[in-house]
Amino acid sequence: MNIIIKNNSLIYLLFLTPFAHILGIAIVELFTFVMTLFFFYKNRSIKYYRDKKFLFFFVFSIYIAINAYFQIPDDDLKISSFFYFRFIILSLSIFFILDYFDNNLTIDKKIISIIFGILILFIFFDSFVQFLMGENLFGFKIINQRISSIFGSELILGAFLVKLLPLFLYLFIYSNTKIKTNFYSLIFFLSLYFSVIYLAAGRTSFVMMFLFIFLILVFVKDLRIVFSLSLLFFISFVFLTIFFDIGKSNPSNRIFIKTFNEMTSHIFYTDHENKQLIDNNSIEKKEIIKNIKIFSEDHNGHYIVAYELFKNNMIFGVGPKGFRSYCRSVNYDPPKGICSTHPHNFIIQILSETGLIGFLFYTYGFIFVFIKILRAYSLKIASNEKNCFLIISIALIVNFFPIIPNGNFFNNWISITSFYYTGVYLYSYKKVFL
């Protein structure tokens, strides 16, 4: 442990933890355990436990454990929900580590940001190889018009990069790297970043990317020009790939046309081989508008089930991860509901599985973070500290945005990512407001 402390290796471990997802969730859990162990080994102060924001999450985790014990019939789900508090400890550990090494990492910050950038650039290169050639450097082929790069058969490239983007920007500014000095390099990097997320053809990640870009343009003044130009280059890239039919996949089919199809329930698609746009001309525009749906039939099916479960368990819900246990007990006439592991939306999952009590935690946390964004925006403080806080706060808002279809709120990967950002948020909050 002394070796780790002496050479600041823990900081490297902290910022490179997200890349451990490539190796599997077990490695990530190991990394988080090491950071947690350091926290308990080195922490001699009660101040971290007394932090009101930490107490808020701690009370939430206690509620999750109690709720699971009484509501969930599956013993395995009970146990996993009971140990949900480990994510709370993770966020506190990250807060402590960043605070512990504060102002003593000038060289290390630069090195970490370079390593971080090189790893992402490799993913970019591998992704473009797969897009242009049909398979990547490791022999993984395109799956259903979607590139996966180093993730192989797992189609999570877009989600991974979206969740990594705020951390890259945070680290870039945290390492005291000047935006003006690296202006063109940053534009080039972000243009590639947006392009690869698009090529991954994940619709949720694509929407999250644009939401993140929008909030950055609104609240982070120092990044407005960089993001605007990067966005312009990215849009140009999209038009070029579509117009010249570049690559072995067509992300626009899934992101734009399939989404339009699902929203209107009408035929509107591209024949990639013949390069023709096929449209049902017999359909009136008024009829299309009349039949527009916000969500797909599958998502609507999940939401129907979740609503029924919430209606019958409004205060406490059916328990964390309880959707999978109780969804088959819901009867429909006609049968439009869909049963699966989760309802594919954070806020709907919170309502159905943790009830109004869980919803109050979610709402309070979301509003709290957003209000602090507004406050920080008007503060006259060091731009780096302010920008870091705004970036990480926006990341939390995007990750927990209520109307975006998303993964399982209680999934290990999502939970670790979310509370990872929460830990960085606690540190940045202290730098800006305390």
Backbone angles phi, psi at 141, to 5 degrees: -90, 165
Residue pointed to by tokens 């512990």? 100
pLDDT tens digits, one per residue of 194-213 = 999 999 999 999 999 999 99
- Its sign, for the CA torsion 150, 152, 154, 158, is positive
What pLDDT sits at residue 77? 78
Full domain range(s) for residue 221: 106-248
Does 128 share its domain with 202?
yes
The verdict on 177 and 265 lying in the same domain is no
- Cα–Cα separations (whole angstroms), residue 390 to 35, 387, 408: 25, 5, 26
Least confident of 53-57, 91-95, 269-273, 355-359: 269-273
pLDDT tens digits, one per residue of 276-299: 444 444 445 444 444 445 566 777
The neighbouring-strand residues paired with 146 are: 143
Residues 268 and 163 in one domain: no
- Looking at 238, 271, 290, the residue that finishes a domain is 290
Same structural domain, 259 and 277: yes
In a domain, 371, yes or no: no
Residue 220 shares a structural domain with residue 260: no
Nearest to 34 by CA among 70, 10, 68: 10
Look up residue 401 and give its two tokens: 């945005």
User: For the chain, what is the total number of helices (H) and then of strands (E)?
Assistant: 20, 2
Residue 293 has a pLDDT of 56
pTM: 0.89
Share of the chain above pLDDT 70, in %: 88
User: Residue 56's pLDDT is what?
Assistant: 92
| Number of domains into which the chain is organized | 2
DSSP 327: G
- The answer on 242 and 257 residing in a single domain is no
Structure token pair of residue 146: 């979607």
Q: Which H or E run includes 131?
A: helix 106-133
Give the span between the Cα atoms of 421 and 401, in whole angstroms: 15
Contact 395, 421 (CB under 8 A): yes
Question: How far, rounded to the nearest angstrom, does the alpha carbon of residue 273 sit from its chain's CA centroid?
Answer: 34
Query: Which residue bears the tokens 């709907």?
Result: 348
Domain boundary among 195, 220, 248: 248
